[in-house]
Structure 1
Amino acid sequence: MKKIAVIGAGSWGTALSIVLADNQHEVRLWSHREEQAQEINEHKTNKKYIPDISLPNNLKGYSDLQHAVEDAEAILLVVPTKAVREVCRSMRPFIKNDQTTIHASKGIEPETHKRISEMIEDELGDHVREHIVVLSGPSHAEEVALRQPTTVTVSSYNIKAAEIAQDLFMNENFRVYTNEDVVGVEIGGALKNIIALGAGISDGLGYGDNAKSALITRGLAEIARLGTKLDANPLTFAGLTGVGDLIVTCTSKHSRNWRAGNMLGKGYVLQDVLDQMGMVVEGVRTTKATYQISQKLDIDMPITEGLYELLFHEKEPKKVVDDLMNRGKTKELEDLSSFL
C-alpha cells in the first residue's frame, strides 16, 4: 500500500482516485474548496462531479495542499491545463525530488505551446523530468467510476517511472499499457479534444455518420502531421492515445468537448456554452494553441484552422464545413504519409 496524493477533485481526479483506492492505496484527494473535501470525508460522495457513487473508505478529502503531498510516495495531477503551473508552484516546497509525478490532464498551453509534462518540469525543476509520467487513453470518468472495463497508456522518458504508475493503477477493471513516446501520447490526448468539438458541431448541425466519420479520420491525419513534426512516433496515433481516445471522445454523450461542440452547432455562442457546461472544455484552449503551432511550423491543419475561426472569430459553423468540403483536390495516401 502506498500513499498517493491526487491533486484535483473533479470527475476525472475522483474516478482515478477510486481506481487507486480499489488497489488498497491510501488516497488523498485534494480540492481547493474546503466544503468539497468535507463532503468527501463526511458523506463519501462528490455529487457535483460523480453523482450516485459511494467513495471508498481509504479515499480521504484534503483541502490543505501541504498535508496532501508532503509525504506521499506518488502525486497524481488532474487539474485543468490553465491551473497546472499555479498548482505546481504551490506544491513545490513540499515535494521530494524522487516522488513520481503522474499527470492525467490533456492540453497544450497557448503562447508557450508547451505540453503538460513540460509545464510541470518548468515549475518543479529539471530534476523531475525522469519522474514525470503521462496517463492518457480512451477513458470517460463516469465509466471508470462505475468500474467498467477501461484501458489506458502511461508514458515517461524513464520506463521505470512508467512501470511504477502501471503498477499503481492496474487492476481487473483498469488495464494499463506502457509507451515511451511521451510526445505522441500527450499530443494525441490533447488534440483529440479539438476534433471532438468538430464532431459535436457536425452533430449539432444535423449532419450524419458519414460527415462525422470523415471528420474523425481527417482529424487523425492532422494530429499525426503535427505529432510527427514534433518527433512523435507515428504508431502512437494508431493506438489507445490516438485513434482510441479520438473515437471515444468524438462519439460519446460523456464527452464535454463533444457536448460543447454540439451546442455550438445548434447556434449557441461560445461564452454561453462555457457558462452552461460548468466545467472546463479543454478543446477550446487547445484549439488556440494548436492553431498557433500550425502557423509557426507551416503545418496544414484545415480542421483546426476552421475551428479556430469559429471559436475566436465567430465564423458560422456551416461556413466552416462548406469551406472544408470545397478545399482543393489532394491524394489521400500522400496526405496520410505521417503514418509511414
Structure 2
Amino acid sequence: MPQTLKKKISVLEKVAVLGGGSWATALVKILSENKAEVNWWMRNRNDVQHLKEYRHNPRYLSQVSFDLKYVLPSDDIKAVVAASDWVILAVPAAFVQLALADLPEDAFHGKVLISAIKGMIPKENILITDFMERKYHVPNSHQLIIAGPCHAEEVALEKQSYLTIGSHDMPTAERFCELLRNRYVKANPLDDLDGIEYCAVIKNVIALACGIARGLNYGDNFQAVLVSNAMFEIERFLDGIMPIHRDLSGSAYLGDLLVTAYSQFSRNRTFGNMIGRGYTVKSAQVEMNMVAEGYYAVQSIHQLNQKLQVDMPITKAVYHVLYERISPTMEFEILKDKLR
C-alpha cells in the first residue's frame, strides 16, 4: 500500500510538488520555508520513508533539512494531487507520461498547474503545457511555467536567486510569485508562457554545445561567440514558431541561457563536456546518473525545425553529434565557420 498523506496543519496554500530530483527538492525548500503546505510526491517509497525519518532527500541536495510540519511526503500521486490547489511538475520531460499515468484525465480540474520542466515530450515534440492541455484538459489560463536563471544547488546554499513565472494570467502568476519570494529568492511574473518555455528548452541545447566545446578544449573566446550566436538562433526559432515582440535580453531568456551555459551546476553543460572529451552518450548518461534535458530536447527542436526551416547551426551541430554520431571534432570544425 502506498504511504498516504496525513494532514498536520491548516494553512492557506496547498502545493503539490511532483518529483524527487534536485529542482523539486529546491522548490520544496522554498515553499515550505514560506509556510505553504507542500504535498511532496516521490516515486520511490524508500525515499519517502527516509524523508519521513531523517527529514532530507537521500538522493539530491541531502544537506537540506525539512520541517515536516509543512512537508508531507508520499508515494501516492493521486492523494498528493487531490490534496493540493497548486500542482508543480518537476520530473524530467521524458518521464512525465509515466509519472502521471495513474491519474485520471480530470485530476487537475480546478487546480493551477506549474511546469518546472525545461524540456519537451519526446517523439510528440510538444511543450509540457501543450501536453497537459491535450491530455488532462488544463487550459493555458490555468498553467504557469517557472524559468530561471536559478540552479537548485544555489537555492540549497541560499544564494541570491531570481525566478520568472510565465503565464497568460498575470494575477495568478503574481499569486504564485508570492509563494516563492523570500530573502534569497525574487520572483516576477511575465506574460509569455510559450516563449519562455521554448527558450528554456533551447537553452539546454546550447548548454550542451558549450559543454562539447569545452570538452574539445575550445576556450572562453569561442564560448562567448557561441552564446551570442545562440541568442540569434533562439530569436529566429521563436519568431518562426510564434512571432510576437519579446525582449530576449531579460533574465528569463538571456539570463537563463547564461547560467546554463557557464555554471558548474549545469548538468547539460556537464553532459556536453563529457561528449566532447570522448564519452559515448550512454556512458555519459550512466556516469552522470541525472537527466540532461537537452539530450531529448535537441531531437524535438531539430524535428520541429524540419518544418520551420530556421537557420539553427548550433542546434544542428549538437543533433549531429548526439544522434548521428558525427565526431564532435569534425562537427565543431564545421560549426566554427558559421559563427560570427
Alignment TM-score > 0.5, same fold: yes
Alpha carbons of structure 1 residues 236 and 31: separation in structure 2 relative to 1, 3 Å = farther
Quote the offset at 1:281 in angstroms.
0.9
The whole-number CA distance in structure 2 between the counterparts of 1:109 and 1:323 is 30
Match of 2:198 in 1: 187
- Of 116-125 and 158-167, the range deviating more from structure 2: 158-167
Alpha carbons of structure 1 residues 80 and 172: separation in structure 2 relative to 1, 3 Å = same
Aligned length: 328
Match 1:317 to one of 320, 328, 335? 328
Partner SS, residue 326 of structure 2: coil
Quote the offset at 1:60 in angstroms.
2.2
Question: Under a length normalisation based on structure 1, what TM-score does the superposition of the two structures give?
Answer: 0.92
Is 1:222 the counterpart of 2:204 in the alignment? Answer: no
Match of 2:112 in 1: 100
Match of 1:261 in 2: 272
Quote the offset at 1:85 in angstroms.
2.8
Partner SS, residue 120 of structure 2: coil
Is 1:277 the counterpart of 2:283 in the alignment? Answer: no
Partner SS, residue 160 of structure 1: helix
Match 1:117 to one of 113, 117, 129? 129
Quote the offset at 1:156 in angstroms.
1.4
Partner SS, residue 90 of structure 1: coil
The whole-number CA distance in structure 1 between the counterparts of 2:73 and 2:82 is 15
Quote the offset at 1:94 in angstroms.
6.9
Deviations 1:76-105 (A, max 9, x none): 110111222333443346735221111100
> Contact 2:107–2:136 at 8 Å: present in 1 too?
no
Match 1:146 to one of 142, 153, 157? 157
Is 1:73 the counterpart of 2:93 in the alignment? Answer: no
Select the structure that is richer in helix. Answer: 1
> Contact 1:66–1:94 at 8 Å: present in 2 too?
no
Deviations 1:281-332 (A, max 9, x none): 10010000111112211111011111111001111111111101234xx9x6
> Contact 1:183–1:230 at 8 Å: present in 2 too?
no
The whole-number CA distance in structure 2 between the counterparts of 1:148 and 1:56 is 20
> Contact 1:102–1:165 at 8 Å: present in 2 too?
no
The whole-number CA distance in structure 1 between the counterparts of 2:102 and 2:162 is 32
> Contact 2:94–2:120 at 8 Å: present in 1 too?
no
Return 5+ residue gaps in structure 1 as ranges.
Answer: 333-340
The whole-number CA distance in structure 2 between the counterparts of 1:17 and 1:295 is 39
Partner SS, residue 103 of structure 2: helix
The whole-number CA distance in structure 2 between the counterparts of 1:96 and 1:231 is 27
- Of 48-57 and 175-184, the range deviating more from structure 2: 48-57
Question: Under a length normalisation based on structure 2, what TM-score does the superposition of the two structures give?
Answer: 0.92
Partner SS, residue 175 of structure 1: strand
The whole-number CA distance in structure 2 between the counterparts of 1:189 and 1:128 is 21
Partner SS, residue 264 of structure 2: coil
Is 1:5 the counterpart of 2:16 in the alignment? Answer: yes
The whole-number CA distance in structure 1 between the counterparts of 2:261 and 2:108 is 39
> Contact 1:70–1:94 at 8 Å: present in 2 too?
no
> Contact 2:105–2:136 at 8 Å: present in 1 too?
no
Partner SS, residue 320 of structure 1: helix
- Of 226-235 and 266-275, the range deviating more from structure 2: 226-235
Letter of the 1:228 partner, please give it.
Answer: D
Deviations 1:3-47 (A, max 9, x none): 111001110001001000011011111111101111111101113
Alpha carbons of structure 1 residues 91 and 173: separation in structure 2 relative to 1, 3 Å = farther
Quote the offset at 1:233 in angstroms.
4.1
- Of 104-113 and 254-263, the range deviating more from structure 2: 104-113
The whole-number CA distance in structure 2 between the counterparts of 1:286 and 1:227 is 15
- Superposition map of 1:34-45 within 5 A: 34-45=45-56
Partner SS, residue 237 of structure 1: coil
CA root-mean-square deviation: 1.6
- Superposition map of 1:153-168 within 5 A: 153-168=164-179
> Contact 1:136–1:154 at 8 Å: present in 2 too?
yes
The whole-number CA distance in structure 2 between the counterparts of 1:233 and 1:138 is 22
Return 5+ residue gaps in structure 2 as ranges.
Answer: 1-11
Alpha carbons of structure 1 residues 205 and 294: separation in structure 2 relative to 1, 3 Å = same
